[in-house]
Amino acid sequence: MAGYSFLQGAFILLLAGIINRFLGFGYQIAMMRLIGPEGVGLFNMVFPVYIMMLVLASAGIPLAIAKLVAEEVANNNMPGAYRVFNISLCILIITSVFFTLVLILGAPMLTKYYFPNPSVYYCLISLVPGIVVVTLCSAFRGFFQGLQKMSPTAITQTIEQLVRVLSGLVFAYFMLPLGIEYAAVGLSVGVILGELTGFILMLRIYIHHRPVTLHYAPGAWRRVFHLGDSIKKIFTLAIPVTLTRIVATALMSIQAVLIPQRLQVAGLSIHHATSAYGQFVGIAEALLFMPGVLTMALATSLVPAMSDAVAARNMTLARSRIWDAVRLTLQVGVPAAFIFLLLADELCGVLFGYAQAGSILKVLALAGPFLYLQQTTTGILQGVGRADVPFKNLLISSLVCIMGIYYLTAMPQFGIGGAAAAVAIGYMIMPVLNMLQLHRMNLFFFSIKENVFLPLLASLGMSLAIFYLKKILYGYNVNDGLVLSISLATGGFVYLSLMLLIGGINDQDREKFSLLFKLKKR
């Protein structure tokens, strides 16, 4: 039954992720309706810079903690696991304080020379306290993930999200009369309060539920005192992970600045450009990322799961976990893409009140399955100790994406649609390169039938059902909200039924999830 610990961990994170994603999605809707696309655009201009500071402060060390702790536990060396954690925590205290000071000192210069809208200063500076809080909390989460105990991460993330949503909207509401930029500050304050709550709860869980070091392998204490070796192991994995996250966050930051700037070149005013960017990131991308709740849960669970399997030299188990992860990713990602194509206007109009953002979502939808596969394959490669591969592949896809944004967004006939096309192309490149590397490493062999054809066939059947159902409902003048609800429910039912009928969900899948639920009840 140990082989199912990966699915158990992913399942726990999935449940938490679903709750968090719906809370976050409701938050996005409320934000858009409360402060409008311009306010959302302001907040999302500074947020990538904050994320960049977090990436630099954490330096990829939390993921290294998860991987190395999993290896030590697999070798029955709990003192070694604690050694990795304690060294890492000391490093993170230093880096988080350093980059907090960097952001405080650099905020005026960023506001003056970097951001296309100078109203973002207070929104940026109010996020500063989160750097220390989030960085240290991530160390504790990495420790428990290395033990393949996902409940602490799931619980703290859910509470954090709940506090963030409620407090952020309350502060934004009361600060809105002062101006849009102050409403954006209210959202930032909500982010900090949520993260602080999650950190306090994580400390409590660690104090009361951390494992004791009663059993360890012979010679464990002697190995534990090799401080230099421990630091080398941590940074061997942390450096490429950090570089990958720096590139990803830098891409977000460049998009946040470049898209509004190139839209102005295309003829839009600064307010209309900010609003268009707000629709892109606050509506279309928010919807696109919804199915990613599964792939993020898989990616988080895959790092320690793959490390555990590789440390035990059980490559059969490693390949089985990769196969399960890729199949699940595409079984969710392919139908999601069809739903976004068919119901884009209804999703954006009913949920956010901006049906025009549907045109952006339709372009991004084509890249949806690739985006989700990118998250899964990155987790796999990091888990087997090849964190350098996602970094190189992300660098390639990011360069293509930036060039596409620069040229396509500035064309008046494309505008924000050109930006969406460039981002979509970037999403497509990286997972293909990741999969090619896994194939070369003899870890995964892509099956067109299992991985693509069956979910594609079921998705086509689902699409036909939704298409004709929409025609019938609109023929009777049914409102968009009811059309959306009925279409989603019917489409989901048709997709699952067809997958069962054609063998996309087989007896082995049902057995695994049956066992998963039995283990959860224990």
Q: Specify the pLDDT at position 491.
A: 92
CA distance 275 to 43: 12
pLDDT at residue number 397? 92
Cross-strand pairs, 77? 216
- By residue count, the chain amounts to 522
The b-or-e profile of 7-28 (16+ CB within 10 A means b, else e) is: bbbbbbbbbbbebbbebbbebb
pLDDT at 469: 92
d(CA 246, CA 391): 9
pLDDT tens-digit map of 208-233: 888 766 444 444 444 444 556 666 66
Q: What is the pTM of this model?
A: 0.69
Residues 6+ apart with CB under 8 A from 464: none
- 452, two tokens: 């693509």
Residue 83 has pLDDT above 60, yes or no: yes
Q: What is the pLDDT of residue 216?
A: 44
Higher pLDDT, 52 or 335: 335
Q: What is the pLDDT of residue 237?
A: 67
**Dihedral sign for Cα atoms in the order 108, 112, 116, 118:** positive
Which pLDDT does position 227 carry in this prediction? 58
pLDDT of residue 310: 67
Q: Which of the 8 DSSP states describes residue 115? A: -
Among 94-98, 351-355, 417-421, which is the least confidently predicted range? Answer: 351-355
Distances from the Cα of 337 to the Cα of 22, 287, 329, 334, 431, angstroms: 19, 11, 12, 5, 16
- pLDDT, position 124: 82
Whether residue 27 is predicted with pLDDT greater than 90 in this model: the reply is no
Position 31, amino acid: M
Is the per-residue pLDDT at 516 higher than 50?
A: no
Q: What are phi and psi of 384, to 5 degrees?
A: -95, 10
What integer pLDDT is reported at residue 498 of this predicted model?
A: 92
Average pLDDT over every residue of 365-385: 85
Q: Give 98-104 contacts, CB < 8 A, sequence gap 24+.
A: 98/57, 99/53, 99/56, 99/57, 99/131, 100/53, 100/57, 100/128, 100/129, 100/131, 100/132, 102/53, 103/49, 103/50, 103/53, 103/128, 103/131, 104/128
77 phi/psi in degrees, rounded to 5: -125, 75
| Residue predicted with more confidence, 11 or 136 | 136
443 closest CA partner among 302, 285, 338, 348 = 302
Q: Which tops the pLDDT comparison, 469 or 117?
A: 469
Rounded to an integer, the average pLDDT of 318-343 is: 86
Q: Which residue has the higher pLDDT, 149 or 168?
A: 168
Retrieve residue 106's tokens: 């650099």
Task: Read off the pLDDT of residues 235-284 as tens digits, 9 standing for 90 and up.
Answer: 676 777 777 777 777 787 788 788 888 888 888 887 788 788 888 888 88
pLDDT value of position 214: 45
Cα 307–310–313 angle (5° rounding)? 150
CA distance 108 to 118: 10
Q: Which residues pair with 216 in a beta bridge?
A: 77
Question: pLDDT band at 336, cuts 50/70/90?
Answer: very high
- CB-based contacts of 51: which residues, under 8 Å, 6+ apart? 249, 252
pLDDT of residue 8: 62
Percent of the chain with pLDDT over 90: 19
Could you report the per-residue pLDDT of 36-66, keeping only the tens digit for each? 777 777 777 777 788 888 888 887 788 788 8
Q: Which residues contact 261 (CB under 8 A, 6 or more apart)?
A: 116, 273
pLDDT tens string 278-311: 888 888 888 898 887 776 766 666 666 666 666 6
Which residue, chain included where needed, has tokens 């040229």? 407
Report, as an integer, the average pLDDT of 73-86.
Answer: 81
Residue 16, pLDDT > 80, answer no
Residues 388-436: tens digit of each pLDDT: 888 889 889 999 999 999 999 999 888 888 999 999 999 999 999 998 9
Has residue 157 got a pLDDT over 80? yes
Q: Please count the other Cβ atoms lying within 10 Å of the Cβ belonging to residue 342.
A: 20
Rounded (10°) angle between helices 78-113 and 5-58: 50
pLDDT at 226 (0 to 100): 56
Does pLDDT of 373 surpass 70?
yes
Check residue 114 and report its DSSP letter. Answer: T
Is it the case that residue 365 has pLDDT exceeding 90? yes
Average pLDDT on 86-110 reads 88
Cα separations (Å) of 82 from 95, 142, 454, 480?
20, 12, 45, 55
Model pLDDT, residue 2 = 44
